A and B are shown apart, each in its own frame.
Chain A
Amino acid sequence: WPSSSSKDEL
């Protein structure tokens, strides 16, 4: 499933 990314975190 499309896992909502945590790349928007610092």
Chain B
Amino acid sequence: MNIFRLAGDMTHLASVLVLLLKIHTIKSCAGVSLKTQELYAIVFATRYLDIFTSFYSIYNTLMKLIFLGSSFSIVWYMRYHKTVRRTYDREQDTFRHWFLVLPCLLLALLIHEKFTFLEVLWTFSLYLEAVAILPQLVLLQRTRNIDNLTGQYVFLLGGYRGFYILNWIYRYLTEPHFVHWITWIAGLVQTLLYADFFYYYFQSWKNNKKLQLPA
């Protein structure tokens, strides 16, 4: 464990807590993409399959349970909670996210480190996580008024993978044979997808204006 990975995990945890806070306290998911939440639930379900077979540390297992629990409960809230589901803008959240799942699965079947069931699904989760934010970014561009909590959620979610990139550089420099091109490229693509959001987020923060993405 290094400071970059810890910062990444804490940023990721913060993003999930901000979203749960928003949904649980103000009982609203306005501006939040259910498609992205469903993709993230699939990402964690396929990434953490080894939770029962391999144990790294209490921290590792605990965080996996938190990410699994929070992502599935957010999907449950947005689909079935009587008050929250009414605030979900179904008409705007129309990204065909299943069109993201299939190519990621095919790519994982083609490019992976080992051709085993767990490894292919784990690689699939890396590819899927890289593009999972797309429905949310599209939704943000459609809904003009982005409330602070949703903006902070996306900002923290984008930031965590950036810390992971620093973690991979650190591990590459300090651990012999730590080379994982698939993880690195997927993580880089994921972070780059946030580039324009980050630009507009900082602009709104600097000029103390409401966050508005260009249509």
User: What's the minimum C-beta distance from B89 to chain A, rounded to whole angstroms?
Assistant: 30
Task: Tell me if B175 and A4 are in contact (CB < 8 A).
Answer: yes
Complex interface: chain B residues within 8 A of A10 (CB): 9, 12, 47, 60, 63-64, 67
A-B residue pair count with CB separations less than 8 angstroms: 34
Contact: B54 with A7, CB < 8 Å? Answer: yes
Q: Summarize A's interface: helix, strand, loop or mixed.
A: loop
A1-10 with Cβ < 8 A to chain B: 1-4, 6-10
Q: Which of A1, A7, A8 contacts B177, CB < 8 Å? A: A1
Asked if A9 and B5 make an inter-chain contact with CB atoms under 8 angstroms apart, the answer reads yes
Which of chain B's residues has its CB closest to A1's CB?
B177
Chain B interface residues (CB < 8 Å from chain A): 5, 9, 12, 47, 50, 54, 56-57, 60, 63-64, 67, 113, 122, 164, 167-168, 171, 175-180, 183
Tell me the complex Cα distance, A10–B6, Å.
Answer: 10
Q: Which residue of A lies closest to B184 (CB)?
A: A6
Cβ A3 vs Cβ B63 within 8 A: no
Q: A3-B177, A6-B178 are in contact. List 9 more A-B contacts (CB 8 A).
A: A3-B178, A3-B179, A3-B180, A4-B176, A4-B177, A4-B178, A6-B168, A7-B54, A8-B60
